Amino acid sequence: MAQDNSNQSNFTLSSAIEANFDGLVGPTHNYAGLSFGNVASKSNAKAVSNPKQAALQGLEKMKALSDMGMMQGIIAPQERPDVYALRRIGFSGSDSKVMQDAYKQAPHIFLACCSASSMWTANAATVSASADTSDSRVHFTPANLTNKFHRAIEPAVTGNILRAMFADESHFVHHQHLPENDHFGDEGAANHTRFCDDYGSQGVEFFVYGKYAFNDSKPAPKRYPARQTIEASQAIARLHGLNADRTVYAQQNPDVIDQGVFHNDVIAVGNKNVLFYHQQAFLNTPSVQEDILRAYSDKPFHFIEVPTAKVSVNDAVKSYLFNTQLINLPNGEMVIIAPLECKHTPSVKAYLDWLTSEDTPIKAVHYFDVKQSMQNGGGPACLRLRVALNAKEQTAVNPNVLMTDTKYADLRNWVNKHYRDSLHADDLVDPQLLDESRTALDELTQLLNLGSVYPFQKK
Ligand code: SUG
């Protein structure tokens, strides 16, 4: 497979856009029930997965957005099983002995080290547009994902991959992830939204947190964990040099966290001057609206609130109505990229039909099958990291990570060549799977021209 330097994408360079960088599903995609508080992950624990189908479903969505004229990028998966994490906690010997011993002695830890969870790149990092930052560069901070062990092993390699994609220091700044402690629990862009008139002008950055790390008197969920702290959100805003007048913090409603809304992007999504959210999303909706309007200088803004009477929190979580991508097509039309589950949930389908037939900024819904990811609680919005880029920044992105017709064909071939079409938790201990994954990733780094980003390449 040759490197693709041609620009055959349907995306044409324009003044400023918001690009989507989707996580490519890794070869160990499986259902291990690792995410307490994430209903789908828990209820599909031990199901047999299909990594090949998962990766192809993700590629289909990327290609479709690229065909709509959107700038679409690809974020490489991580190396799994993570034998380095297992060595760090005392397993030793050959890679295969490390895996066998961990599987026998600490099966849950072993499974955590096998997760392909880096596919959900909304959790890869928080990204601030250059129009919002004090040094007029795009800032990236990988999420530390401290709440879940299987995710907390992602940030270092995420940082390597992002630096290889956005290497030009005159445009891009990469911070280290926040300190690895619940105090600074950070889940990245899943709890962050940007509002703007157009993608190139200064916007409002909106951070949603689940709890205060240091204030017991504030409300917090009782059943499931709040993964994001306000302390983490404030640290990101400081690191990125955001203007305090254009930064808004809002607390998620702890009651919906307790109903399975483990990230804000499961209950709200924003784009341009639109916030689409459920009536129960925030702890104090009137003050959220007031704060956004003030930061947005009282310019026209659309709050589209979905009432509980039309869509219950349960249906929203089941269908992932809000884990949709709200995007502006090159012709300016705002559309929703939704999972098929929205079409199959009657209350949600009825709501979306109503929404797009009324005089609202949202004009159409496009449905996609991303079921393999959905079964682990990851919808279309979880699978992508948004990066607003002006014209110069667009040309500074590593061109090999962008979707083109050739890249799509190459990646499909790559998946078909290296991925299994069935994987059960017991298969993960097969040393052959580690070899297969490393061979696949080594080839992928050439295809995406990433250099050496994985520990196995740095030996
Ligand atoms: O962190 N699921 C992921 C889903 C992440 C969704 N991302 C956003 N909402 N942005 C999580 O809970 C499940 C893995 C397993 O159980 O095998 C998992 O990690």
pLDDT digits (tens, 9 = 90+) for 26-75: 999 999 999 999 999 999 998 999 999 999 999 999 999 999 999 999 99
Output the residue whose Cα is nearest ligand 1's atom 7: 382
The answer to whether residue 13 scores a pLDDT higher than 70 is no
**Three-state DSSP class for 337?**
strand
Pocket residues: Cβ below 6 A from ligand 1 = 31-35, 38, 41, 115, 117, 120, 122-123, 151, 190, 262-263, 265-266, 376-378, 382
The CB density around residue 92, as the number of other CB atoms within 10 Å, is 9
pLDDT, averaged across the chain: 96
Predicted local distance difference test score (pLDDT) of residue 11: 73
Sequence letter at residue 301: F
pLDDT tens readout for residues 147-205? 999 999 999 999 999 999 999 999 999 999 999 999 999 999 999 999 999 999 999 99
The residues that bridge with 338 in the sheet, in sequence order, are 367
Contacts with 186 (C-beta within 8 Å, 6 or more apart), sequence order: 126, 141, 143, 144, 145, 146, 177, 178, 228, 229, 232, 233, 235, 236
Task: Output the DSSP codes for 297-333.
Answer: TT---EEEEE-TTTS-HHHHHHHTTTSSEEEE-TTS-
Q: Which atom of ligand 1 is nearest to the CA of 150?
A: 19
Q: What is the DSSP letter of 20?
A: E
Residues 296, 248 contacting (CB under 8 angstroms): no
pLDDT tens readout for residues 277-316? 999 999 999 999 999 999 999 899 999 999 999 999 999 9
How far is the centre of ligand 1, averaged over its atoms, from the C-alpha of 120 (Å)?
7
pLDDT tens readout for residues 205-258? 999 999 999 888 899 999 999 999 999 999 999 999 999 999 999 999 999 999
| Domains within the chain, CATH numbers bracketed | 25-80+115-453 (3.75.10.20)
How far is the centre of ligand 1, averaged over its atoms, from the C-alpha of 41 (Å)?
7
Residues 80, 28 contacting (CB under 8 angstroms): yes
Residue among 146, 147, 262 whose CB has most ligand 1 atoms within 8 A, to mutate: 262
**Three-state DSSP class for 259?**
coil
Predicted local distance difference test score (pLDDT) of residue 29: 98
φ and ψ of 421, to 5 deg: -105, 10
The answer to whether residue 2 scores a pLDDT higher than 60 is no
What is the C-alpha separation between 127 and 139, in angstroms, rounded? 6
- Report residue 356's pLDDT band, with 50, 70 and 90 as the boundaries: very high
The answer to whether residue 9 scores a pLDDT higher than 70 is no
**Beta pairing class for 192-195 and 172-174:** unpaired
Starting from the edge strand earliest in sequence, which strands make up the sheet with 125-128, in order? 125-128, 138-142, 172-174
Q: What is the pTM of this model?
A: 0.97
